[in-house]
Amino acid sequence: MKYRERTGVPPVERGMLMFYNMGRFSAEQRDRAIFDAASADKYLARLHDYPLPLDLALPIWSWTLHLRDGEVLDLLQSTDPQELADVAFLRRSGHDRYVATDTAFFRGALLREGDELKGESLSPAELSAAVAQVLPKLAPAPSSSPRSLALFDLSERNLRRHDSSRLEQLFVSAGSRPLPPPQR
């Protein structure tokens, strides 16, 4: 989307803007790879004139960066920062940051004493702010077909972090219709 003159516009009737993975992998506390509002602004500047109607995908997953000597060593997928508090050989060192107090394996990664883990996730408030940031830049969805909203990665673990009523508000604010609850 940002470089459409080089990459082209897909030959489809509508697209989906995946509004995530636009930040930096970094040991710095302020840097976030899943979602960074300042980085998102760079993409949004050209969104209003994109030639396709766009649906929206938002991040609700989390991951953990494995840091050594101030550098990113590895990415531990599907690791919720809240899980780290219960690991015996990890000591909290800041917001969503932990230091290994022993050398041990964690989720298949060898952590050496002194290695850090930096968790990343979006809180419900941050997710709402992301929607408020992108929606004014999107062209209105055609009246014949409301905008679709996708949540990635839709899993029970990720849904626990987000209250269902707040997620429903996101669907409504995006002009989307949430699926009806499953029949039991």
Whether 4 is in a domain gets the answer no
Q: Which residues contact 100 (CB under 8 A, 6 or more apart)?
A: 89, 90, 106, 111, 112, 113, 114, 115, 116, 117
Is 75 in the same domain as 88?
yes
Whether 51 is in a domain gets the answer yes
Contact criterion met (CB below 8 Å) for 94 and 119? no
Is 113 in the same domain as 128?
no
pLDDT at residue 182, rounded to an integer: 54
pLDDT at residue 85, rounded to an integer: 92
Whether 2 is in a domain gets the answer no
Whether 40 is in a domain gets the answer yes
pLDDT at residue 183, rounded to an integer: 61
- The first and second tokens of residue 19, run together, are 């509004």
pLDDT at residue 184, rounded to an integer: 59
pLDDT at residue 46, rounded to an integer: 82
How long is the chain? 184
C-alpha 103/C-alpha 53 separation (Å) is: 51
Total structural domains within the chain:
2
Q: What angle do CA 25, 31, 35 make, to 5 degrees?
A: 80
Q: What angle do CA 30, 63, 81 make, to 5 degrees?
A: 80
Is 73 in the same domain as 146?
no
pLDDT tens for the chain, 184 residues long, are 778 899 999 999 999 999 999 888 888 888 889 999 998 988 888 888 888 999 999 999 999 999 999 999 999 987 888 889 999 999 999 988 999 999 999 999 999 999 999 999 988 889 999 999 999 998 887 777 888 889 998 888 888 888 788 888 888 877 765 555 556 5
Whether 147 is in a domain gets the answer yes
pLDDT at residue 116, rounded to an integer: 97
CA distances from 71 to 47, 64, 66, 109 (A): 33, 13, 8, 15
User: Domain range spanning residue 37?
Assistant: 13-60+122-165
pLDDT at residue 75, rounded to an integer: 94
Is 104 in the same domain as 23?
no
Whether 8 is in a domain gets the answer no
